[in-house]
Structure 1
Amino acid sequence: MMTRTNNKQIKFHLVTIENLVPEDHFLRKLDSLVDFSFIYQETESCYCQNNGRPCIDPVILIKYLLIGFLFGIESERRIEQEIQVNMAYRWFLGFDMDDRVPDHSTISQNRRRRFNGTGLFRRLFERIIFQCMEKGLVDGRTVLTDSTHIKANASAKKNIKVIAQREANTYMQRLDFYEEQERCRLEKAGMIRPKRKSRALKEKLPAEKPINPTDPEAGMLKRPGKPAGPHYLSHQSVDIAHGIIVDVAVTPGNVNDSGPYLDRIEYMRKHLELPIKTAGADSAYGTSLICQALEDMGICLYTPGTTGGVNYKTEFTREDFKYQKETDCFICPAGKQLILRSLEREEFNICRVYRADCEDCKFCPMFSRCVSSSQKSRTVRVNIFEEAVRRCHAKKGTALHSYILEQRQIWCEGSFAAQKARHNLRKLYRRGLEAAETHCLLSAMALNLKRMVKCLE
């Protein structure tokens, strides 16, 4: 039988907000596990201590933003509307049922003006990590890293091309260090000639690159299988023990994954004091320099390895040339020596160049099978990090290698999937690199808080 309810009387009830929030609600569990009082200490420098009007409690400001990332509410205007009617949100913020909710513009202006350029959200993210460490949720011995793209708040149709100076980065500075070290060793041993000043590495000329005038700090993502246009990249490192995100670094979308990796490893070791012994990462992070640098740090790297191999233009490949360690030379199939001639810098590698004598190649019956048409003699290039790469790839196929890569898929890719589905990581609403980093830090913080509650409840 159909029932109709008309003119329903609104009764008076004597209730408190404590009665309206279930005992097993997530926010109750979170509030009992996490002490948010550290926010006062971290925001103290942002406020005047003896002058000005009374402000909104900074803990409320941060919790206000966290609610949006914990429950996937993308708009700050929408967060305000949800807090007005949601008793659990009010309870978490410390509001009574009749308290006025701060206007969304107040939250926005504090975030944009008061906290801008202070690094506050990075410090808050770290404080949550330290609390996870105190509760035994972070081991720090094995760290897994991956990156994901986040759509910038800009249209790909409005790109323009500008002339921009190539920026130096620490990855290239590390290459410079290893090159200088190897050059000094070879020159001191008399194996190569000293480098002439006229042949010094020239500063790279400015190049034309596309930017988006709406958000010029975003990078143009152009990768197979990825959406094109202005994006940012969020590089996240996850501790293998319970999936706690221990580091977040944000770069423009056109930055190579390997660029910030070594800096982030050092940051986690020195600043967070994580005793990293094992690292797992996608193949994009497994460059020869990273293999060498992590080996020097005492860290064992596991990556899927490279796909494909070197394409040779001749019949004879590198494997046809036998290396003699005693004389540091290669022997070609015809029995002639290829002697170390120079040290050359490539874009991402440094190579020792072994070259045969032109006279030996000129009258060799296998010349057409060995030397390409653009060369007069055969050359063999050896990456100075080759041994470190070989040792890194030798672990491929082992049980530990398979386990680390499986865990990377579970924790790294699983974290990105959860953040994009439920924690606002799919796209950005604000512009600029700092705003993008703040957004990614809050998303990672929200996921860490959820995992903390799940592990400790």
Structure 2
Amino acid sequence: MMTRTENKQIKFHMITIENLVPENHFLRRLNRLVDFSFIYEETQDYYCKKNGRPSIDPVVLIKYLLIGFLYGIASERRIEQEIQVNMAYRWFLGLDLDERVPDHSTISQNRRRRFRGENVIRRLFEQVLEQCMEMGLVKEELILTDSTHVKANASFKRNIQILAEHETTDYMERLDIYEARERERLETCGAIKPQRNGRLKEEKSQVQRIISPTDPDAGMMKRPGKPVGMHYLSHQSVDAAYGIVVDVAVTPGNVNDSEPYLERIEYMCSHLGLKMKAVSADSAYSASLICQRLNEMGIRLYTPKATGGATYKVEFKRENFKYQKEKDYFICPAGKKLTLRSLEREHYNICRIYRADRKDCQMCPMLSQCVSASQRSRTIRVNIFEEAVKIQRERDGSPLHRQILKERQIWCEGSFATQKAHHNLSGLFRRGIEAAEEHCLLSAMALNLKRMVKCLG
């Protein structure tokens, strides 16, 4: 027998929105765990206390954005449409059945104008993180770090090439300090000659750079296995206990992963109060300066085991030369000295240069085994951070090292995969590095809230 459904939607019902949302719904569990009242304290300075029209509740504004990132709705216009018909979204925002949903343009203008340049989203992210820490979801023993590319809202066809000033990064400034300290030590003891003024490196130099006129803050990314184009990099640090994201930093897509790392580690220690014992990152983060600084801070670094090493065009390798630590020189297989001649700055390292006397090499019967055709005498380059690298590398290949690398792969790469699939991290609608950072912080906040509910809700 065929059933014909009549129009039942014109009937009157006595019902409340509270009855329409299931008790076990994710947003109910989230609302029970997280106290969103901190948003009032963080945003109160941006509103006039006595004058002006009544504003949208700032908690509603932030929750409005969070719904988009919790459920992977990238468009603010689409978020408005979904809230209009979704009872759970209405309940989460505190809107009644007949109450108008805030217009998407109003939300957008508040975000772009009222909170611009104020780091409000970062403070909200850290407030959620603080609640995670109070609930015991952050153990602080092992922090895992990696970066992922986020596609910028910029046309690839409109890119132009310009001549721009080379910007000094935090990493390079740290290298400058270590280089000046080491040079002063060697010049004071007479090991090397004072550097001539004409050879002092220039503070700024011009470099060729590809930029997009639509989003000049984005960077051209050209990495093996990665898409070519204008991107941002989201550098994300995750606590290994429950996968809670503890820090997010955004850089242009052409920035090396190692450059912002030390600054973020110090930020997590000083500002967030994390007392980390060990950190793990991809091989791109294993620069010698990072090993040195983490060694000074008493933090153990775990990165993928180094492959390859120095390549030699001749038979004799550095291992064939004996170092005399007391007098600071090397002895070659023929018994001749390689003395310290200078201190040279490489792009990411600082090296002491040891060189044999030219006459000793030219008269040596083992010349072809030791010196390449392009050189006149044997040279050995010693990184000034070599001891720190050895200390950080002494556990490579151990069961603990393999376990930590496995956890980094699970939590970091797994988090990025989840965020790109479900939390809007695959690309940006807005432009500029500030907007990109807010976007990545909201994505990480949504992931933290989901993991909090999963663990405690």
TM-score bucket (shorter structure): over 0.9
Determine if the alignment matches structure 1 residue 363 to structure 2 residue 363. Answer: yes
8 Å contact kept, 2:167–2:204: no
Question: Could you tell me the percent identity over the aligned residues?
Answer: 70
Name the residue aligned to 1:139: 139
CA displacement, residues 394-450 of structure 1 (integer Å, 9 cap, x when unaligned)? 211112211211110111111101100100000001100000000000000000001
For 2:361 and 2:303, the matched residues in 1 are separated by: 40
Name the residue aligned to 2:198: 198
Shift of 1:141: 2.3
CA displacement, residues 8-29 of structure 1 (integer Å, 9 cap, x when unaligned)? 5642211100000000001001
Shift of 1:2: 5.4
8 Å contact kept, 1:221–1:228: yes
8 Å contact kept, 1:21–1:87: yes
Shift of 1:328: 1.4
Shift of 1:392: 1.5
For 2:202 and 2:214, the matched residues in 1 are separated by: 33
CA displacement, residues 308-350 of structure 1 (integer Å, 9 cap, x when unaligned)? 2222232322222221222211111211110111111111100
For 1:181 and 1:149, the matched residues in 2 are separated by: 36
Secondary structure of the structure 2 residue equivalent to 1:14:
coil
For 2:13 and 2:91, the matched residues in 1 are separated by: 18
8 Å contact kept, 1:286–1:305: no
For 2:184 and 2:220, the matched residues in 1 are separated by: 39
For 1:151 and 1:109, the matched residues in 2 are separated by: 23
Determine if the alignment matches structure 1 residue 175 to structure 2 residue 175. Answer: yes
For 2:306 and 2:202, the matched residues in 1 are separated by: 30
| Structure 2, gaps ≥5 residues long | none
Residue identity matched to 2:22:
P
Name the residue aligned to 2:17: 17
Name the residue aligned to 1:394: 394
| Structure 1, gaps ≥5 residues long | none
CA displacement, residues 258-307 of structure 1 (integer Å, 9 cap, x when unaligned)? 00000000000000000011001100001000001100011000000333
For 1:307 and 1:433, the matched residues in 2 are separated by: 35
Name the residue aligned to 1:281: 281
Name the residue aligned to 1:313: 313
Secondary structure of the structure 2 residue equivalent to 1:396:
coil
Shift of 1:105: 0.5
Shift of 1:94: 0.4
Per the normalisation by structure 1, the TM-score is 0.98
8 Å contact kept, 2:305–2:397: no
Residue identity matched to 1:316:
F
For 1:331 and 1:276, the matched residues in 2 are separated by: 42
Name the residue aligned to 1:258: 258
Determine if the alignment matches structure 1 residue 97 to structure 2 residue 97. Answer: yes
Residue identity matched to 2:160:
I
Runs of 4+ in 1 over 6 A off after TM superposition: none
For 1:233 and 1:271, the matched residues in 2 are separated by: 22
Name the residue aligned to 2:110: 110
8 Å contact kept, 1:143–1:278: yes
Determine if the alignment matches structure 1 residue 406 to structure 2 residue 406. Answer: yes
For 1:220 and 1:406, the matched residues in 2 are separated by: 30
Name the residue aligned to 1:44: 44
Residue identity matched to 2:329:
C
Name the residue aligned to 1:26: 26
Secondary structure of the structure 1 residue equivalent to 2:313:
coil
For 2:296 and 2:8, the matched residues in 1 are separated by: 75
For 2:22 and 2:6, the matched residues in 1 are separated by: 30
Change (3 A) 1:92 1:9: closer
For 1:260 and 1:339, the matched residues in 2 are separated by: 36
Name the residue aligned to 1:297: 297
CA displacement, residues 27-58 of structure 1 (integer Å, 9 cap, x when unaligned)? 00111111101101111111122221111001
Secondary structure of the structure 2 residue equivalent to 1:148:
strand
Secondary structure of the structure 2 residue equivalent to 1:315:
coil
Residue identity matched to 2:55:
C
For 1:427 and 1:60, the matched residues in 2 are separated by: 25
Change (3 A) 1:194 1:26: same
Change (3 A) 1:9 1:441: closer
Residue identity matched to 2:359:
E
8 Å contact kept, 2:343–2:350: yes
Alignment of 1:238-257 (within 5 A): 238-257=238-257
Name the residue aligned to 1:125: 125
For 1:16 and 1:202, the matched residues in 2 are separated by: 71
For 2:56 and 2:6, the matched residues in 1 are separated by: 43
Change (3 A) 1:371 1:204: farther
For 1:295 and 1:419, the matched residues in 2 are separated by: 32
For 2:353 and 2:4, the matched residues in 1 are separated by: 89
Change (3 A) 1:7 1:139: closer
How big is the alpha-carbon RMSD for the aligned residues of Structure 1 and Structure 2?
Answer: 1.2
Shift of 1:7: 4.8
Change (3 A) 1:13 1:166: same
Name the residue aligned to 1:154: 154
Per the normalisation by structure 2, the TM-score is 0.98
Residue identity matched to 1:18:
E
CA displacement, residues 177-225 of structure 1 (integer Å, 9 cap, x when unaligned)? 1111211222222222222222222234201111111111100010000
